[in-house]
Each structure stands twice: as C-alpha cells, then as structure tokens.
Structure 1
Amino acid sequence: MTDSPITDPKALRALSHPFRWKLLQVLTEQGPHTATQCSEKLGESVASCSYHLNMLAKYGFVEEVEGAGRQKPWRIVRGRQSISSEGLEGEAALAAEAAAMAYLDQEFERTRERLRRHEHLPEEWRRTVGTQGTVKFLTAEEAVEYHAEVQALLEKYDDRRLDESLRPEGARAVRYFLAVTVAPE
C-alpha cells in the first residue's frame, strides 16, 4: 500500500512548511476538522489554518467534505506522504530535502511532547509508549529485505486510518515512527 514518492517540486514545497505537517497530523489522527477547529487545537489563527489547508488542498493532500453549515471540514486525501530525493535533481531535490526536514522536525516535536505526557496515560496505554534503538549489521540486500518485512508490519491496520467505521471501540491513534540510517564507511 505504499504511495509513490511525491516528485512535483511545488507539492514538495507545500510540505516544507512545518505547520502544514501539524494540520496533516490533526486530520489524520482526529478526522475531518474545520479551519476553526484546527485553530482551536493548534493555537493558530483561523485565517492561518484556512490558508495552509488551502495550500495542502491545492496539491491534493486534503479536501473539503460536505457538511452542515457554512464551514466545511477538511479531510486527508492521501493516507501517506512519501518523500524521497532519489532520482530528483535541482529544485525538486532541494524541495524534497526541505519537505523531509520539516517532516522530521514535526515528528521529533510530536514524539518529545507525547513522551513528556507518558505518566498521564492510563496504565494500559503506558506499557505501549516508549523509544527503542538498535543496530543491525547487514548487507545492503539484507537491509532491503529487513526493511520490507518491517514495512509490511507497519501497514497492518492501514485500512482503519481513512475509514473510521473499521476502528474497533477504544481504538486510539498510535504513532509508529521508524528511521533507517546507514553508518558511513
């Protein structure tokens, strides 16, 4: 279920703004929200939220949903944003790097904030939260195979991300973040 990497420099630049990752997070984890609701959750002005949501919509990351009233909620269109500078050159490669760095900054900020709140979670959730690091000594081929196995595991329950009706009672957004790096020779 892996989405193909985003290669359009303009779409990548749209993702290089850190606040847009926060909006994507809210819509992914909490479902459709209006600009006003996003403003309340993120402490940013309604005008700013509306502007950034419109920029995300321009490049197909979110869309407005039909709803009651004048304000329409926004929802996620793409379940996953895949960013890689591989095969890109010039402006596109720079835009991919900027988008990836904005994503990482947001991801680390989110992780730090959630780890700070660890002791306030109910006991059954506290046991699932934490960080872990490991080093494996692998060949390039083994690393590709290992990555595919982990990716398959991470894709389990993906259908629940965009379809709330598939979520069992008591389900909460649980974030898994995986970073794979290779030591220099």
Structure 2
Amino acid sequence: MENRTPRITDPKALRALAHPLRWQLLEIVDRAGTATATQCARETGESVANCSYHLNLLAKYHYVEQAEGAHGREKPWRAVNASISVEAEGMDADGALAARAATGAFLDYELNQIRERHQTLHLEPAEWRTAVGVDNAHEFLTAEEVEELRAEVRVLLDRFRDRKTNPDLRPADARSVTMFFSTTVAPQPD
C-alpha cells in the first residue's frame, strides 16, 4: 500500500466514491489489510454479490486491488493507498459536483458510524468508554494556522501507521480506532 495521499480529480473515479457502502468497504479492507467479499458481507450485512460488485467497481478506479492468497472464487482485496483526498478546488463543474457527491457519501458514512458506535458505547469496557468521545472546539484561526494544525494531527497519527500493515507491532490490547477530524469555517458575516 502506498503511503501518499492521491488527490482524485477524475469525475468518474469520484462518482465511484459517491456511495456510503463503498466507503465502508474501503475502511474494512484498509483496517483488515486484506478482505474478501464474504468477509465484507459478514461485517456490512450486505450480500456477498453486492459487496463483490462494489469491490470490483472500487478496483476499476484503483482504490483497491486484488491481493495474494485467493482460494477458489474468494478474492482478497487490499487498499491501494493509505488515504484518499477529495477536494473540488480547481475542478470543472462536473468534477466539482462529483467531488461534492463523494464527500457527501463519505460524511454520511462517517457520521452514521460515529452515531452507531456512540449508541453502543455503554457495552464497551470502562477503559474504552472513557478513552473515546466527541470533542469540539471553536477557535479563531487563519487559513495557514488551520493547514498547520491539520498537518500536525497527521504527523501524530502517522506514528501508528505501521501497526496497520504489521500486526506484530500492535500492543495486545490495541483495537481499530477511527479518528474523524473535521475542520470547517463559519460563513463570513455580512
């Protein structure tokens, strides 16, 4: 898996991301290292055929690729990149529309996942109930300061990136943790 973050600019490739299930499949494959359509179906509650269809579509646009270790009809998939960047900046109208659709599907998926996981948080051991949560802050920053802050957060998270591809580096009590970090800016007052 490449460690760079490609900026997706092809409208067709962006439209391939305009489906929450595809974001979920990307997360499953990325988290597991490799996953088959059967494994994805088990986790998503979708049919194997539906997961296979969406994985093949993601492969068409180079988000996933077949991994080694196929057994019969079961094809394992792996993520091509560690992360994906979807931005409408500098794109024509068709590309910008596709980027907004992909971003909307991503937000739908992530926010739904956050909501579902918080509703079942009471089922987790005490140490996990206190470790996870939702935080927010409203600060006055310049655009440059926001970019700097985002870069610092990525550096912090990169400290743990090798654990994804090398399970031997994971502490015994480590679990897959999603960090959803969003920055937005309030509209300019009139």
Asked whether the two chains share a fold, i.e. TM above 0.5, the reply is: yes
| Map of 1:114 onto structure 2 | 117
Q: State whether residues 20 and 53 of structure 1, in contact with CA within 8 Å, keep that contact through their aligned partners in structure 2.
A: yes
Note if 1:123 corresponds to 2:126: yes
Q: CA–CA distance in 2 between the matches of 1:60 and 1:165?
A: 28
Which residue of structure 1 aligns with residue 76 of structure 2? 73
The answer to whether structure 1 residue 94 and structure 2 residue 100 are counterparts is no
Structure 1 unaligned residues grouped into runs of 5+: none
CA contact (8 A) 1:28 1:76 kept: yes
| Residue 159 of structure 1 pairs with residue 157 of structure 2 | no
Deviation at 1:2, TM superposition (A): 5.0
- CA deviations 1:108-164 (Å, max 9, x no partner) are 011011111111111221111110010111223332322322232233212222333
Partner of 1:41: 43
Report the TM-score, using the length of structure 2 for normalisation: 0.90
Residue identity matched to 1:158: R
Worse-matched range after superposition: 75-84 or 31-40: 31-40
Residue by residue, what CA displacement relative to the aligned partner does 1:80-108 show, whole Å, maximum 9, x if unpaired?
A: 11111111112111111110000000000
Name the count of aligned residue pairs: 185
CA RMSD of aligned residues (A): 1.6
Q: Distance in 2 between matches of 1:151 and 1:66?
A: 30
31 and 145 in structure 1: CA distance in 2 versus 1, 3 angstrom threshold: closer
Give identity over the alignment, percent.
51
CA contact (8 A) 2:33 2:164 kept: no
Residue identity matched to 2:21: F
Residue 30 of structure 2 corresponds to residue 28 of structure 1: yes
Unaligned runs of 5+ in 2: none
**1:83·1:96 contact (CA, 8 Å) conserved in 2?**
yes
